[in-house]
Structure 1
Amino acid sequence: MFQEFQESGGGRPGWSAWVVDQGWAVFTADEHATWDILYARQTALLDGLIVDRFFDGLAKLGLGDGGIPELGALNERLLPLTGWRCVAVAGLVPDEAFFAMLAARVFPVGNFIRTRAQLDYLEEPDCFHDIYGHVPMLADKGVADAMQRFGETGVAAIAAGAGDKVARLYWHTIEFGLVREGGAVRILGAGLASSFGEAAKSLHDPTIERRPFTPESAVATPYRHDAMQPLYLVADDMHSVVAALEGPLP
């Protein structure tokens, strides 16, 4: 459902088995232009709608310098900030591998970008979702540290047969979470940050249900991975989100 797996024994492949070359040199001019369109309109849309840490990270990483970011250059900016780095993968990979990568402070990025026909919504995460949606938050030390600890929790939870719980907590925070900040409800999750069709809808559509976030409610709440969400969980503040990611699973 998410992405990658750490070096391990037991006959299972390490997460490096999932890493591929980004193929940055073969991205076409049209694909780079697609990134620029997505970046410009999403950044304008999110003004005042997303947590401040997102725009702080966006500025530090220079993701709007033009075209799809080359991961080597991106890592040169990200690594000194929080010790995280990005690697390219060909698509979705197992949950156990994904959480093991987080535990190693590695974030997987799809080596493809959506088509022009998919600008508003894409079910499978592409490099725009992965880089634009996730990586700015990894430039924040508090979030970066919490994500590593959450990766460790995820690896242990999957080994203990509780993978559904950790996947739901991730979904309702890092992917599609909302949080109160500055007296308003704002976007936290990368799935919303990178979606033109769903970002404003998550905050303003009166037909969508928004419930208070707790770790207990998150692990008990199913989600849709193949459509826009009918339900979001709203955390009281960033501290409660970080605490949930760093703490034990309910």
Structure 2
Amino acid sequence: MTSLVPEKLKHGLAAGDAGRPARADWTIDQGWAAYTAEEHDIWRTLFNRQSALLPGRACTAFVDGMKALPIGPDQIPNFIELSEVLARHTGWEVVAVPGLVPDEVFFDHLANRRFPAGQFIRRRHELDYLEEPDVFHDVFGHVPMLMNPVIADYIQAYGKGGLRAKQLGVLDKLARVYWYTVEFGLVREPGGLRIYGSGIASSYTESVFALDDASPNRLGFDLERVMRTRYRIDDFQETYFVLDDLDDLLKLADIDFAPLYARVSAQRELEPGDVLDTDRVITRGTGSYHHGGKGV
């Protein structure tokens, strides 16, 4: 009997040898002209519903970046056109990759202000959840924030720090900083908490869960606390860390992480939903979603 469940396609590193491109830096041509009408329509569906949801949820930097870039509902953006605008503002460019890439390749791109974006787009049955980052996650979620000078400098510094962390064997600690900022970060603004993390901004359901649901914790950002905290890769986050201002990320770009790695490695690991007496609690979550009462 033929299965009615669509086969999951793997891309880039997740596809093994079949996903490795010819170039050592894992870049490929975007092949913009090869996108089908169906693929552009999937982009349109994702773009329109997310654009309708994010006003009052996304931070000012995200909104401003989106307005200034050639990103719209009608078609998947052309990386060359995106890069021309980014280069003028923050010196970044978008390079196409087949999917996930090796850590050292990813860090080298970031360290040189190249943002590797997945070239493929999810299929229609994957609108709400995709295991691998695709062009919608990478371009809609990440690229508008690269128009902000603070984020532009911070992500470049992360790329340089990632190469060092991998050599020191503490990459998991630094990866948590990226996860809880660039991917799933919240920031205070005059109107309330706002989204700046791409994993939230590109997700219809998590954009609601992160700000509105009673289940997750929302804690003030503390670097060492974040470095000790595991995260979820298969579901909504149990805890979101909140910056008082995006400019706080500039401090992280200048820190010598070596002493931090030593201190953090000597302390116990924290689970995603833990709340400590020393935490600056903005919202203490009920935990109901992750303990059986699935909400959103």
Alignment TM-score, normalising by the size of structure 1:
0.90
Matches within 5 A, 1:167-206: 167-206=175-214
Distance 1:241 1:142, change over 3 A: closer
Aligned equivalent of 2:235, options 218, 227, 233: 227
Q: Unpaired segments of 5 or more residues in structure 2?
A: 1-11, 14-22, 261-296
Q: Deviations over 1:89-109 (max 9, x none)?
A: 111112222122110000011
Partner of 1:36: 44
Structure scoring higher RCO (CA < 8 A, sep ≥ 6) equals 1
Give the distance between the partners of 1:68 and 1:142, measured in 2 at CA: 26
Q: CA deviation at 1:183?
A: 4.5
Question: Residue 125 in 1 paired to residue 156 in 2?
Answer: no
Q: CA deviation at 1:245?
A: 4.0
Larger Rg: 2
Q: Deviations over 1:17-56 (max 9, x none)?
A: 3111212111110110111111111111110111100011
Matches within 5 A, 1:13-162: 16-64=24-72, 66-162=74-170
Q: Are 2:165 and 2:174, in contact at CA under 8 Å, matched by a contact in 1?
A: yes
Q: Deviations over 1:153-201 (max 9, x none)?
A: 1111111111111101000000011111114111110000000011111
SS at match of 1:198: helix
Q: Deviations over 1:203-233 (max 9, x none)?
A: 1110112222111111111011122212211
Q: Unpaired segments of 5 or more residues in structure 1?
A: 5-14
Which amino acid in structure 2 is aligned with residue 39 of structure 1? F
Which amino acid in structure 1 is aligned with residue 155 of structure 2? M
Give the distance between the partners of 2:226 and 2:94, measured in 1 at CA: 27
SS at match of 1:124: coil
Give the distance between the partners of 1:46 and 1:217, measured in 2 at CA: 29
Q: CA deviation at 1:246?
A: 4.0
Q: CA deviation at 1:65?
A: 5.8
Q: Percent identity?
A: 47
SS at match of 1:20: coil
Please provide the CA RMSD for this pair: 2.0
SS at match of 1:238: coil
Aligned length: 240
Give the distance between the partners of 2:238 and 2:200, measured in 1 at CA: 13
Q: CA deviation at 1:16?
A: 4.5
186-195 vs 136-145, which moves further? 136-145
Give the distance between the partners of 1:211 and 1:246, measured in 2 at CA: 23
Alignment TM-score, normalising by the size of structure 2:
0.77
167-176 vs 239-248, which moves further? 239-248
Q: Are 1:89 and 1:110, in contact at CA under 8 Å, matched by a contact in 2?
A: yes
Q: Are 1:121 and 1:196, in contact at CA under 8 Å, matched by a contact in 2?
A: no
Which amino acid in structure 2 is aligned with residue 126 of structure 1? D
